């Protein structure tokens, strides 16, 4: 059994999931509207009120049952059994933004379009000035 997650120590489970989410205590505290010291106290608690647990689970992006049943061993086993197909599938791409184009190429296309538009506007102004000069000079 892991020394990091005792079966009934909900505070340690919250701490581990928070760490796996790469979230600091301050961020969790802010999301819950409490102090960082309160998060520290929660993570050191073996039990937590159900309402607070629901709030924490929501902020951490897990359901309450996953939070209650979390163990380091189960997480390690899950990641060790994931196949390449799963990594490329919906399971992991749900929160990943993937572009079907090169953003730099797209930006260069936009810059080029803006340059062409500017050149057309500039030419239109030159044509207008030539026309006005012809009118003023009586030609």
Query: Cα separation of 35 and 42, whole Å?
Result: 11
125 pLDDT band (50/70/90 cuts)? Answer: very high
Dihedral (CA of 76, 80, 81, 84) sign? positive
Local structure of residue 99 (DSSP, 8 states)? -
Q: Would the pTM of this model clear 0.85, i.e. be above it?
A: no
Query: Cα separation of 65 and 9, whole Å?
Result: 14
Element holding 12 (H helix, E strand): helix 10-20
Q: What is the per-residue pLDDT across 44-99, written as a single tens digit (0 to 9) for each?
A: 988 889 999 999 988 888 888 877 887 777 666 655 655 444 454 544 444 445 55
Q: What does the mean pLDDT of the chain come to? A: 79
């Amino acid at each position: 059994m892991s020394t990091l997650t005792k079966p009934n120590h909900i505070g340690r489970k919250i701490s581990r999931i928070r760490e796996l989410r790469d979230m600091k205590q301050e961020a969790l505290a802010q999301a819950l509207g409490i102090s960082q010291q309160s998060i520290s106290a929660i993570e050191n608690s073996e039990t937590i009120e159900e309402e607070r647990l629901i709030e924490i689970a929501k902020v951490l992006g897990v359901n309450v049952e996953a939070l209650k049943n979390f163990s380091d061993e189960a997480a390690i086993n899950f990641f060790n059994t994931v196949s390449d197909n799963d990594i490329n599938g919906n399971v992991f791409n749900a929160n990943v933004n993937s572009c079907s184009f090169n953003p730099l190429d797209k930006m260069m296309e936009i810059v080029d379009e803006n340059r062409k538009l500017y050149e057309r506007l500039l030419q239109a102004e030159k044509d207008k000035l030539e026309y006005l000069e012809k009118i003023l000079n009586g030609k």
